[in-house]
Amino acid sequence: MPPLTKLFKNKELSEEEVQEIASSGVKISVTFNNQEWAEVPEFKYHDIKVGRLSYVTAFAEEVETEEEKEKLWRSEEPIEQPPSEATEEELKKIEEEKLKKIADETEEVHTVAKRIDAKMYIYGDNFINTGANLKLKFIIDNKEILIDPIFKNSKKLA
């Protein structure tokens, strides 16, 4: 399916419009001859947004066995939240550090070559865990590679 905005000819949708579409579903008709149309079951549209990629470095160095590392790699994780007792100044500093880390990770993705099988995170919004139906497609020199990502949380895939 195309991104939700494509269904509306690239018109920017308000958050309320997106929520209404997401909750009410989308009707689809299919044709093979452009004359006869068949209705297919309605489905709920889920519009994800990919924000950035980052390489995974120093993953689970403190974990002793490869089995434990793999289990940790495949497990879901909570979305990082700032400490609730942090002052406004501390929150500002945390946000600045986070933005610096994002800039550094983005720079690395754009400038550093990695070996095949390097681990990566994909950050964004509205990811859902659909099990075996969750797929990523990488296109390299007109070759498509399908990957089964690991759902970490609604903002992060591995």
Q: For the chain, 158 residues long, give each residue's pLDDT as a single digit of tens.
A: 666 667 777 777 787 887 787 777 777 888 999 999 998 877 776 778 899 999 998 888 888 899 999 999 999 999 988 888 889 999 999 999 999 999 999 999 989 887 788 899 999 998 888 888 888 888 888 899 888 999 999 999 99
> Do 80 and 113 fall into the same domain?
yes
> Do 8 and 75 fall into the same domain?
no
State CA 32 to chain mean position distance. Answer: 33
> In a 3-state reduction of DSSP, which class is residue 62?
coil
> Do 103 and 32 fall into the same domain?
no
Task: Give the number of domains in the chain.
Answer: 2
Cβ-based neighbour number of residue 127 at 10 Å: 21
Report the residue count for the chain: 158
List the domain range (segments joined by +) for residue 119: 49-157
> Do 37 and 92 fall into the same domain?
no
> Do 33 and 60 fall into the same domain?
no
> Do 32 and 54 fall into the same domain?
no
Q: Report how far apart, in Å, the C-alpha atoms of 52 and of each of 17, 24, 112 are.
A: 25, 29, 15
> Do 89 and 64 fall into the same domain?
yes
> In a 3-state reduction of DSSP, which class is residue 64?
coil
> Do 89 and 137 fall into the same domain?
yes
Taking the alpha carbons of 13, 16, 19, 24 in that order, is the dihedral positive or negative? Answer: negative
> Do 25 and 61 fall into the same domain?
no
Residues 6+ apart with CB under 8 A from 114: 55
Residues 72 and 60: beta-carbon distance below 8 Å: yes
Beta bridge partners of 38: 30
Residues 129 and 152: beta-carbon distance below 8 Å: no
> In a 3-state reduction of DSSP, which class is residue 3?
coil
| pLDDT value, residue 37 | 92
pTM of the model: 0.71
> Do 141 and 91 fall into the same domain?
yes
> Do 69 and 117 fall into the same domain?
yes
The residue among 147, 146, 144 whose CA lies nearest residue 158 is 147
Residue given tokens 């759902």 in the structure block: 151
> Do 93 and 114 fall into the same domain?
yes
Taking the alpha carbons of 123, 121, 134, 76 in that order, is the dihedral positive or negative? Answer: negative
State CA 11 to chain mean position distance. Answer: 23
